[in-house]
Chain A
Amino acid sequence: MADSRFKGTSSYVATHDLMMAVNAAVTLERPILIKGEPGTGKTQLALEVARALDRPLFEWHIKSTTKAQQGLYDYDAVARLRDSQLGDDRVHDIANYIVRGRIWEAFESEVQPVLLIDEIDKADIEFPNDLLQELDRMEFFVYETKQLVKATHRPIIVITSNNEKELPDAFLRRCFFHYIRFPDKETMQKIVDVHFPGLKKNLLREALEAFYKVRDVPGLKKKPSTSELLDWIKLLLAEDIPPEALRAEDTRKAIPPLYGALLKNEQDVHLFEQLLFLDRRGRTQ
């Protein structure tokens, strides 16, 4: 498995420490837990790992009502009851009514797959604890059919969390952990290059300048993130905004054009305007 080293892809810039963590998780076949600000590419990572290593990807998106059991399997008792009413022959085999979950599917994959458990913190607080055994031993038992499902290849499990809930210690101990830091200007430039290869140098510079200025405003409720920067640049390109417009010395216009892509909260926009106003007053004095 000498080729199974993750080094980022043509559309994903991975920092050195991220590569390290991913490769450790791949080699030791343990889950990797990814945390970080929203929009820093946590979910994207699983897609890119699957693409880079050429593995099938199974995605399991967690909602507040998701139960751990649903990842394994569901027993559709109602369908079976119905079939029994209709005298269907299928009814004699309970296995016909076991619906496979994403974890089961991943366990049965012919080649080692990538399993994404997205936003695990959205689920009930006990959810991670219910998956300990499954993630550790990579096997579970189907009570209805008395069958032990064991992973043919231990999947590469990528788990993302937005930190809405703290995760239990026992769960954390079984994972590798990586916190995606907000990229610095250098890395950000690389990221933008990957997404917009032909971007004019000065537009990029001005856009990044304006972007980090917005991010540095103290007290923002939601700081704009990488994905928002990329959206914003896409908009700037679509609207054909000249680079000079981003550096308006006239502070009345100093709110960056199309700021709606960066600031997602009317309180933040308001705060930003207020600060600009103060800044303008400071300058005229």
Chain B
Amino acid sequence: MLSGFFFMLRKGGLKPSITELLTLLEAMRKGLSGQRVDDFYYLARSCLVKDETQFDRFDRIFAAHFHGVEDAFESLISDIPDDWLRRQAELYLSAEERAEIEAMGGFQKLMEALRDRLSEQSERHEGGNKWVGTAGTSPFGAYGYNPEGVRIGQQDSRHRRATKIWDRREYRNLDDKVELGTRNIKIALRKLRKFAREGAADQLDLEDTIDKTARNAGLLDLRMVPERHNAIKVLLCLDIGGSMDDHVRVCEEMFSAARSEFKHLEYFYFHNFIYESMWKNNRRRHNERIDTTAIAHKYTSDYKLIFVGDATMSPYEIVYAGGSVEHWNEEPGAVWIKRLLNTFPKAIWLNPEPEQRWHYTPSIKLTRDLMSDRMVPLTVSGLEAGIRQLH
């Protein structure tokens, strides 16, 4: 019965499964959805959406699909004065949304289209909830959502009764389609595991205990072993600031995933490229610097070296002495990265820039050559490919 809605959800980017749909239907058969549309909305959301960042998406699809149904429950909406619309819209639209509308043909035009739609509806004597998809952009169109359409639906001064919960779109800010969730990164990082037993012996070694007890003429001789830990060691160098600001989120996720996954994880920050020093605390980056040579000496060569950076800069910053944007470097960055690569032969470079843009930037090509092609995009598949190179 709800299959139309179900497929609309799937088309809209949500991924409810058949089991979840069946659960919803079962709940409805047991009379949980009640007599009110609100109840049904809550029930459907609780069954079909399992992530609060998807709530907004769900709200939009719900509004679009059920625009006819709730008319049976709620009153009709007839005329809406022009200036009221305008006031509401201006109240609710943020600056960039207004810019977006501007790009789509201007506010005036949009309002006209909207009014046309509304009058058309009042003639046909049905509710005015169509405006969710109004002004020519479908909620699932190129822009992902229709800012003005839905926002105008959010009337709370004049037509309070007709305000729908899903039209309020309270979960709007939470919707951010993250390609690379922390979980995905962790699963990918799991491939980079090598278990070894070290540390305190606190687990019973059953095999050994049986063996020793037997040798002990049946008298119990308990044997303990240390727990198995991930013995892989990782040295993470993260580019920070400047052009990396666009990628902060994905880098943070990568970092937090890596931190909980590896016991031996050392991390350092650099800006744009590797020079004679790096730092650990970004707030005191100018005082507390650590010599790159010291890092190379301190950590053994079985550490896996992972750079995270967009490698997007002027090529001078890599190949010339004094090329750094921040300070005077005696030796070019290319020399420093070669030194590090000599010490840590297992190394990769993770680049958050999309792979198809790499060949437009000479510095990326340069870095890639220096890394002998071991550069992968910072995506789940990229990470998996990179980890294969680290083994």
- A associates with B: yes
The answer to whether B43 touches A20 (Cβ under 8 A) is: yes
How far is A84 from B206 in the complex, measured between Cα atoms in Å?
A: 15
For chain B, residues 184 to 198, give those with C-beta under 8 angstroms from any C-beta of chain A. Answer: 184, 186-187, 190
Q: Which chain B residues border A85 with CB–CB below 8 Å?
A: 219-220
CB distance from B141 to the nearest CB of A (A): 27
Q: Mark A24-39, 1 if CB is under 8 A from B, else 0.
A: 1001101001010000
The answer to whether A177 touches B49 (Cβ under 8 A) is: yes
The answer to whether A173 touches B46 (Cβ under 8 A) is: no
Q: Which chain A residues border B27 with CB–CB below 8 Å?
A: 24, 27-28
How far is A175 from B204 in the complex, measured between Cα atoms in Å?
A: 36
How far is A43 from B170 in the complex, measured between Cα atoms in Å?
A: 24
The answer to whether A125 touches B46 (Cβ under 8 A) is: no
Q: Which chain B residues border A172 with CB–CB below 8 Å?
A: 50-51
A21 close to B (CB within 8 Å): yes
How far is A173 from B20 in the complex, measured between Cα atoms in Å?
A: 6
Using known A-B contacts A125-B186, A125-B187, A166-B183, determine if residue A23 contacts B32 with beta carbons closer than 8 Å.
Answer: yes
B78 close to A (CB within 8 Å): no
Q: Mark A165-193, 1 if CB is under 8 A from B, else 0.
A: 11111001111111101000000000000
Using known A-B contacts A17-B42, A125-B186, A166-B183, determine if residue A179 contacts B17 with beta carbons closer than 8 Å.
Answer: no
Q: Which chain B residues border A84 with CB–CB below 8 Å?
A: 220
The answer to whether A21 touches B220 (Cβ under 8 A) is: no
Closest to A178 in B: B46
CB distance from A30 to the nearest CB of B (A): 7
For chain A, residues 88 to 147, give those with C-beta under 8 angstroms from any C-beta of chain B. Answer: 125
The answer to whether A21 touches B42 (Cβ under 8 A) is: yes
Q: Which chain A residues border B137 with CB–CB below 8 Å?
A: none
A283 close to B (CB within 8 Å): no
Give the number of A-B contacts (CB < 8 Å). 76
Q: Mark B38-66, 1 if CB is under 8 A from A, else 0.
A: 11001101110111100100000000000
Closest to B17 in A: A173
The answer to whether B49 touches A181 (Cβ under 8 A) is: no
Q: Which chain A residues border B213 with CB–CB below 8 Å?
A: 81
How far is A166 from B52 in the complex, measured between Cα atoms in Å?
A: 12
The answer to whether B50 touches A78 (Cβ under 8 A) is: no
The answer to whether A20 touches B42 (Cβ under 8 A) is: yes
The answer to whether B46 touches A21 (Cβ under 8 A) is: yes
B241 close to A (CB within 8 Å): no
Closest to B181 in A: A166
A195 close to B (CB within 8 Å): no
The answer to whether A82 touches B47 (Cβ under 8 A) is: no
Using known A-B contacts A20-B46, A165-B186, A173-B17, determine if residue A179 contacts B52 with beta carbons closer than 8 Å.
Answer: yes
B3 close to A (CB within 8 Å): no
How far is A172 from B15 in the complex, measured between Cα atoms in Å?
A: 12
Q: Which chain B residues border A23 with CB–CB below 8 Å?
A: 32
The listed residue with most A CB atoms (<10 A of its CB), out of B26, B55, B171, B183, is B183
A241 close to B (CB within 8 Å): no
Q: Which chain A residues border B206 with CB–CB below 8 Å?
A: 77
Closest to A172 in B: B50
The answer to whether A33 touches B38 (Cβ under 8 A) is: no
How far is A81 from B209 in the complex, measured between Cα atoms in Å?
A: 10
The answer to whether A27 touches B32 (Cβ under 8 A) is: yes
Q: Which chain A residues border B15 with CB–CB below 8 Å?
A: 169
The answer to whether B23 touches A28 (Cβ under 8 A) is: yes
The answer to whether A165 touches B182 (Cβ under 8 A) is: yes
Q: Which chain B residues border A33 with CB–CB below 8 Å?
A: 50
The answer to whether B47 touches A81 (Cβ under 8 A) is: no
B222 close to A (CB within 8 Å): yes
A16 close to B (CB within 8 Å): yes
For chain A, residues 50 to 108, give those with C-beta under 8 angstroms from any C-beta of chain B. Answer: 77-78, 81-82, 84-85
How far is A85 from B222 in the complex, measured between Cα atoms in Å?
A: 12
Q: Which chain A residues border B220 with CB–CB below 8 Å?
A: 81-82, 84-85
B157 close to A (CB within 8 Å): no
* A176 touches which of B47, B181, B187 (Cβ 8 Å): B47
The answer to whether B30 touches A27 (Cβ under 8 A) is: yes
* A78 touches which of B39, B42, B47, B204 (Cβ 8 Å): B204
The answer to whether B38 touches A30 (Cβ under 8 A) is: no
How far is A124 from B142 in the complex, measured between Cα atoms in Å?
A: 39
Closest to B213 in A: A81
Using known A-B contacts A24-B32, A82-B220, determine if residue A30 contacts B23 with beta carbons closer than 8 Å.
Answer: yes
Q: Which chain B residues border A166 with CB–CB below 8 Å?
A: 181-184
Using known A-B contacts A30-B23, A85-B219, A166-B183, determine if residue A24 contacts B43 with beta carbons closer than 8 Å.
Answer: yes
How far is A224 from B20 in the complex, measured between Cα atoms in Å?
A: 35
How far is A245 from B38 in the complex, measured between Cα atoms in Å?
A: 42
Q: Which chain B residues border A176 with CB–CB below 8 Å?
A: 23, 46-47
CB distance from B276 to the nearest CB of A (A): 31
Q: Which chain A residues border B356 with CB–CB below 8 Å?
A: none
Q: Which chain B residues border A35 with CB–CB below 8 Å?
A: 52
How far is A176 from B32 in the complex, measured between Cα atoms in Å?
A: 13
How far is A181 from B170 in the complex, measured between Cα atoms in Å?
A: 9
The answer to whether B52 touches A173 (Cβ under 8 A) is: no
Q: A28-B23, A78-B204 are in contact. List 5 more A-B contacts (CB 8 A).
A: A21-B42, A21-B43, A81-B222, A167-B183, A173-B50
**Sampled A-B contacts (30; CB under 8 Å):** A16-B42, A17-B42, A17-B46, A21-B42, A21-B43, A23-B32, A24-B32, A24-B47, A27-B27, A28-B30, A28-B32, A33-B50, A77-B204, A77-B206, A78-B222, A82-B220, A85-B220, A125-B187, A125-B190, A165-B182, A165-B186, A169-B15, A173-B17, A173-B19, A173-B20, A176-B23, A177-B49, A178-B46, A179-B52, A179-B55
Q: Which 9 A-B pairs have the closest CB atoms?
A: A166-B183, A179-B52, A172-B50, A20-B42, A21-B46, A17-B42, A177-B50, A176-B46, A85-B220
